[in-house]
Amino acid sequence: MSDDDDTDGPVPVGVKLGSTRTVIALPDGEGGLETIRTLTCLSTYEDQLTGEERVLYGDEAATEYPDRAQFMLRSGLPEDDDRAELTKKFFDALIEEHDVPEDSVVVYAIPTIDNEKGLANLESVIEESVVGEAGVQSYPESLCGSIPAIGDDLEAISEIFTAVNMGSTNLEASAYRRGEQLTPFATGAVTGNEVDRMIANNVEEETQGRVNIDKTTAREYKEDHADFVDFEPFTDVIQQPGGGSHEFTIERSVMDACNDYLDEVVDEIANSFLPDLANDYMKVYQLALDQPIVLTGGMACVPGIVEEFEERLSEELQREVTATAPDRPDLSATVGAQRIAAHLIESDSY
């Protein structure tokens, strides 16, 4: 990929509007990438001097207005007009604050969800923003996310492989044949959000009801401590309603939830997605399983999950399979989308 930031043409921008986090990637002016990452939420408030409505988004909104912050993409897409309008406000505020160039080619990653209204709303959020003046295109999230795992450029577009996106809102899987998506699969029954809920329930059970945590805290426990290789029990402190504090230790709650999640992922892939792929495209199925399965999405960030997935899926299928993941599975869809945007500019095909 050339140094697009050294040219006078449009800037290649990758975007993923996720249910938990939104990520934007663009050239940093020094031959590398600038990555903008924030929580996908916003809150509005009234300016006490002017009476005008102001918008806070991301971590700032979640911290300052936890009671009013809205995560408008909890289902993965802006499903109705109200959520679409909130998402537009969020995205517009994000790109304005970070000066994302208007003269840009934007490629955004889309989830594998059968929801025409939601997908149309997502498209309008991007296309009606000030960025993407030179062009806007979308590609499947799991394809975009696989690109950084398979090579330094766009080698994934020339390969036959399967990808599993372990997202907050859905578990997605697809086969890819030279960029063509085959047998897309998605379920909302196995999700990163469900892991957060299970951790919260487990903590209450493990502490005999003395500790109750919210899903945000549960997600932080998962992101900070989950580890299939070297998990270590950890302590935390909560403030008691009547004063004082209570220190407690978590030994099982986090990894019990993660192990249950991974078992369910393997079951869905082995017994739902792969049989459908074999029925639809037997040769692709055979070729794809000879290649590493690419794991992307937030849950793929848990240390050791790639190796555990390999072991459990191999046992379930009674054949050896391998898996891989990009260095940053939570950022890979945006990075892959940005590489596609750069290629579109280089080939003058936007």
* Helix and strand element counts for the chain (H, E): 11, 14
The 10s digit of each residue's pLDDT in 106-125 is 999 999 888 899 999 999 99
pLDDT of 323 above 90: yes
Note whether residue 242 is domain-resident.
yes
**In which domain, by residue range, is 214 found?**
193-252
Note whether residue 49 is domain-resident.
yes
Note whether residue 110 is domain-resident.
yes
Percentage of the chain exceeding pLDDT 70: 98
Q: Are residues 18 and 119 in the same domain?
A: yes
pLDDT of 301 above 60: yes
Cβ atoms of residues 306 and 295 within 8 Å: yes
Residues 189 and 275: their CA atoms lie apart, in Å, by 19
Q: Which of 125, 95, 97 is nearest to 25 (CA)?
A: 95
For position 136, which CATH number holds? 3.30.420.40
pLDDT of 309 above 80: yes
Helix (H, G, I), strand (E, B) or coil at 316: helix
In this structure, the number of other CB atoms found within 10 A of the CB of residue 80 comes to 12
Whether pTM > 0.85 for this model: the answer is: yes
Q: Are residues 129 and 16 in the same domain?
A: yes
pLDDT of 197 above 90: yes
Q: Are residues 197 and 127 in the same domain?
A: no
The number of domains in the chain is 2
Note whether residue 172 is domain-resident.
no
Helix (H, G, I), strand (E, B) or coil at 139: strand
Q: How confident is the model at residue 7, as a pLDDT?
A: 53
Q: Which of 96, 93, 156, 87 is nearest to 124 (CA)?
A: 87
Note whether residue 342 is domain-resident.
yes
Q: Tell me, rounded to whole angstroms, the distance of Cα 151 from its chain centroid.
A: 20
Note whether residue 313 is domain-resident.
no
Q: Are residues 18 and 144 in the same domain?
A: yes
Note whether residue 299 is domain-resident.
no
Note whether residue 343 is domain-resident.
yes
Indicate the average pLDDT of the chain. 92
Q: Are residues 340 and 240 in the same domain?
A: no
Task: Say what angle helices 141-150 and 332-346 make with each other, to 10 degrees.
Answer: 90
The 10s digit of each residue's pLDDT in 16-57 is 999 889 999 999 989 899 999 999 998 888 888 998 888 888
